[in-house]
Amino acid sequence: MKKLIVFSLLFINCFIYSQKPIKVSNIEFKVKDLKKILVDEKVTATFRTLYKNNKIECGCIIKGVRNDSIFIKGSIQVKDKELICKEYYYYELKNYTDSIIRHFKLNKGHLIIKEYLRYNDGKIIYKK
């Protein structure tokens, strides 16, 4: 009976935490959220990672918290054949960088980084 309950809970858990795939153009990427600790910043970050054929294509920090405070907030947007990852930093994490924007483009079915922008006080401080 215990095995049945545990199995049922695990099965339900898979449906609750599974996420819809993200489509860029007509290519579908699986989405998985992973929690990692950023040791230097003492922040627990949730990375939203996109996979194709069980290989990581790209990732973005969706949320970073310490205690009850949000230190990082991020989002992923899709526009045509491009995926845009935006990360915003708060409190002492924004001393040097207040936001990062990464543009990924679709190339032969894979996402490659097209542009990387780092901002401080609304000005680009690093561009690649």
| pLDDT tens digit sequence for 10-64 | 444 444 445 789 999 889 999 999 999 999 889 999 999 999 999 999 999 999 9
Interatomic CA distance for residues 19 and 50, integer angstroms = 11
| CB-CB contact of 62 with 77 (8 Å) | no
pLDDT beyond 50 at 9: no
The pLDDT tens digits of the residues spanning 35-50 come to 999 998 899 999 999 9
Q: Which of 49, 21, 22 is nearest to 35 (CA)?
A: 49
Which of 38, 76, 73 lies closest to 59 in space, CA to CA? 76
